[in-house]
């Protein structure tokens, strides 16, 4: 990726992460990046939202303080 494209991608992710924080989604920057990449590959964003919600329901005992807890599900 050329430097200009990398800069634009970083700025886009920064903006999406800021919006995510305003909406209080609880998504970390890495998870948001993965979800955006999946959307770019053609995955249905509504289906991804359902998956994220289901994962959060299935693992309510996982938290950032739990050693095996992925930070993206907190």
33-55 pLDDT, tens digit per residue, is 999 999 999 999 999 999 999 99
Q: How far is CA 25 from CA 1, 7, 17, 49, in A?
A: 29, 25, 10, 10
Tell me: pLDDT of 73 over 70. no
pTM: 0.71
Across 62-71, average pLDDT: 52
pLDDT of residue 60: 64
Residue ranges of domains in the chain: 3-73
Across 57-73, average pLDDT: 58
Tokens of 29: 């920057």
Tell me: pLDDT of 17 over 80. yes
């Amino acid at each position: 990726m050329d430097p200009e494209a990398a800069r634009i991608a970083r700025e886009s992710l920064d903006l999406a992460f800021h919006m995510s924080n305003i909406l209080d989604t609880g998504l970390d920057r890495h998870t948001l990046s993965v979800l955006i990449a999946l959307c770019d590959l053609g995955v249905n964003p509504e289906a991804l939202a359902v998956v994220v919600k289901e994962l959060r329901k299935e693992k309510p005992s996982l938290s950032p303080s739990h050693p095996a807890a992925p930070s993206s599900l907190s």
